[in-house]
Amino acid sequence: MAILLTGGAGFIGSHTAVELLCAGYEVVIADDLSNSDASVIDRIETITGRRPAFYRINVADRAALETVFSAEAIDAVIHFAGFKAVGESVEKPLAYYRNNLDSALTVLEAMQAHGCARFIFSSSATVYGLTEQIPYTEQTERRGCTNPYGWTKYMIEQILQDAAAADGDLAVVLLRYFNPVGAHPSGLLGEKPSGVPNNLMPYVTQVACGIRTHLSVFGNDYPTPDGTGVRDYIHVQDLAQGHVAAYRYILEHKGCEAFNLGTGKGYSVLELVHTFERVNGMKIPYQIAPRRAGDIAMYYAAPDKAAAELGWRACKTLEDMCRDAWRWQCRLQADEET
């Protein structure tokens, strides 16, 4: 039996493929490569010594998905596929709702047709919206989202809760990621933002290698210890291992459960920048800029439920995240020069 990873050639999907293969599971990847490339499959094989089956398809295409379910014995799906840029979702809401909802529904329908009843969903801390209770626990009241991307996560969570309530055989885990950063320690896998990065760590690594002149720090007047925004950064390899734990959990549990995947620790923008400078021995030029619309001052996870029920905790440090992110950026540069 195999685990199907939709979007498995992407940043979090590829790291999860590695961790699942290393734990001895069979992996099938379905990805249209719209935000990744085929070399990722080779790199997964280089790291693990095992090659996942790969289908280049859009998972919202039911006929294409049918070929995967017919050819492979799929025991569970981890659904990563989806559009994920917050700003773009504000500009193109219909594209985000169409793509993200369609792909989730199509995958669920194909699973139902093939008697596959285990689903792990790539959700986000963004579903907590504008709540002021920190840290976020899975019980924290959700107060709506601040952008269409977040709403697609929120809506798919609702769809999954309803589907699990209606079908006693269905087992669903909602994994609410905090801020995934870093890269595989081998330097072979990482995040490849197209265009100007929206997120902090890829921006910092591009400043570090000279692609960008300086970082704009969005606001230094927040009610946080140094005035800059605080987030719960989690190493992508820890996050990937959280999926392995979720798969083991779902083998034993039915119904629908949500888990935060975060470290439980918040770091400010400047703490991240200074840690990056220290561990990598360089300076990151930055300027204080106005607050970014839609940003929240501070949030981080309560990771206790995942620890108690999945037996999983993040163990890598902010130093590890900064070191691995920089190693990956150097590798990207070297690849581009050859």
- Give the list of residues 6+ apart from residue 27 with CB closer than 8 angstroms, or none: 2, 3, 5, 8, 17, 20, 21, 52, 53
Give the span between the Cα atoms of 275 and 284, in whole angstroms.
10
Q: Which residue is nearest to ligand UFG (CB)?
A: 229
Instruction: Identify which of residues 52 and 242 has a Cβ nearer to ligand UFG in the complex.
Output: 242
Does 203 help bind ligand UFG (rule: CB under 6 A)? yes
Is residue 149 among the annotated active site residues?
yes
CB of residue 295 to ligand UFG, shortest distance in Å:
5
Number of residues that bind ligand UFG (CB under 6 A): 21
What is the distance of C-alpha 2 from the center of its chain?
Answer: 21
Instruction: Identify which of residues 178 and 312 has a Cβ nearer to ligand UFG in the complex.
Output: 178
Does 227 help bind ligand UFG (rule: CB under 6 A)? no
Question: Looking at 18, 156, 164, 200, which residue binds ligand UFG (CB under 6 A)?
Answer: 200
Q: Which of 149, 222, 249, 299 is catalytic?
A: 149
Does 174 help bind ligand UFG (rule: CB under 6 A)? no
Contact between residue 54 and residue 42 where contact means Cβ atoms under 8 Å apart: no
Helix (H) or strand (E) holding 287: strand 286-289
| Binding region for ligand UFG (CB under 6 A) out of 63-71, 192-200, 275-283, 322-330 | 192-200
Tell which residue, 298, 332, 192, 301, has the closest CA to residue 239. 301
CA-to-CA dists, residue 309 to 173, 174, 252, 258, angstroms: 12, 13, 11, 11
CB of residue 186 to ligand UFG, shortest distance in Å:
24
Instruction: Identify which of residues 52 and 202 has a Cβ nearer to ligand UFG in the complex.
Output: 202
Binding mask 259-298 for ligand UFG (x = CB under 6 A): ----------x----------------------x--x---
Question: Looking at 124, 237, 260, 263, which residue binds ligand UFG (CB under 6 A)?
Answer: 124
Contact between residue 178 and residue 12 where contact means Cβ atoms under 8 Å apart: no
Does 218 help bind ligand UFG (rule: CB under 6 A)? yes
Give the span between the Cα atoms of 38 and 211, in whole angstroms.
25
How many other CB atoms sit within 10 Å of the CB of residue 139? Answer: 10
- Residue 260 pairs in a beta bridge with 176
What's the token pair of residue 127?
Answer: 């579903």
Point out the residues that are catalytic.
149
Binding site for ligand UFG (CB under 6 A): 84, 86, 124-126, 150, 178-179, 198-200, 203, 215-218, 229, 231, 269, 292, 295
